[in-house]
Chain A
């Protein structure tokens, strides 16, 4: 790139504004940090003491598997709902629409509390063969739907509704010519969906689903309201005993931030992988 005919000095644009804002930001941050450290209730030592306590770590593990389970169930259900929503069958379309309408239309917190108190609505869960006296299953609801089960139910059903819309968008983004080409080869609609449409929809689906996973990780904190035994529940249990609210909230925040950072890194890697083989996007 060097030209040996004549050497001229290139003076880049000077960004004085950037230096000014940087000084301003550092100043404000320093002031905030001093106020933070001056507070008698931050207690860094307490934070360090509780960060790796075994019941806090148990909470972290519960938060992680709740997220994982809710996302797996949510994605599987979401694919089903998305396909139903796009189906030619008006009954399936209607069912899917109603499900999404209800679970997207009410707050997650309300759904969690609702499933936590399911026993108040249906005291017993009973399955029997119709038109006979044969009872296959009969137990009190509170025994079957424990706090954990209620948490999984609420989180995954809610996720299904959101995932369905994300996946539907991904499916619609695949060119109609792809379906026609598959049809012309004699592929059935189900085979076409599995082998042609979904693999291509993945590229569109993965970024928002990564986002959903991150949102889900943080939403699991809501199940503390029905004693879901997650990280937030563990933290609350501790500070309700020793009143060290701020240090323990910082413990929770550190863990959530660390886990979300990990998920973001994973999302980046997966997006790169699914971008391969496509001319668009530039990444090969």
Chain B
């Protein structure tokens, strides 16, 4: 299989301090006749933790999935670390990327899903080393050592040889985080990572995410955990009906919302 990345940001200037990790301009997305994103603008700086809040159906998960091209956008533009998502620019033309090239760009964007999506036929360790070994060509010994360290970091060193079916939801989600981190991502996407968990297991997963944030990881988090957003997020965006209704520092958006829809939503969830 392929082992070496050849393109990417090779020609881009090396040290652009101000280049945002995620930049969205007027992103739109339709599912059939239904327009779920109606022009999203957003900027996430390197090292920033951005939380996306909003009622279900507001488009926040869809937008998150657009960032690593699991969903294709229908309009607007979206950059990750200076690269257009899903396209390659040559002169004044945009060329749609092939599946293989999209896969290459996704390598350094980690994603954690609501329903974990661990590979059930592999052990916890097997899940974590799979992509480094098969995609990056990391030698198996080194991948194992790194995976063990990551499992220890999420507090599951002793579960390395357990299958996902033998783990609790909270443990599975922490393995999923370790699996994403094994690719050394520059950006982590979290799609409601605690929504499928029993309340008593939420804390362990949030603790892992807090420690990641403290280490300076750039994170975009779709969540209903207001406590996490208030405590950890650098910025919060409230989405409703496919648009960003309100955004800013968590203290302002959550503490003193200016928009009626934000207030109505917060009244219900808090």
Contact = CB atoms under 8 A, between A and B. Distances in A.
Interface of A: 175, 177-178, 180-189, 191, 195-196, 199-200, 277-280
Contacts of B164: 279
Contacts of B117: 175, 177-178, 180-181
Contacts, number: 81
B70 A184 contact: yes
Interface of B: 1-2, 68, 70, 99-100, 103-111, 113, 115, 117-121, 130-131, 134-135, 163-166, 176, 179-180, 183, 189
B119 A178 contact: yes
B115 A185 contact: no
A145 to B, nearest CB: 38
A187 B99 contact: no
9 contacts: A177-B113, A181-B111, A181-B117, A181-B118, A184-B111, A191-B134, A200-B121, A277-B165, A280-B165
Contacts of A279: 120, 163-166
A188 B106 CA distance: 10
Nearest to B121: A199
B99 A188 contact: yes
Contacts of A189: 99-100, 103
Give the one of B2, B117, B130, B180 with max A CB within 10 A.
B117
A183 B68 CA distance: 9
B100 A188 contact: yes
A196 B134 CA distance: 12
Contact of A185 (B1, B100, B163, B180): B180
Contacts of A277: 120-121, 163, 165
Contacts of A183: 70, 103, 106
Contacts of A175: 117
Contacts of B100: 188-189
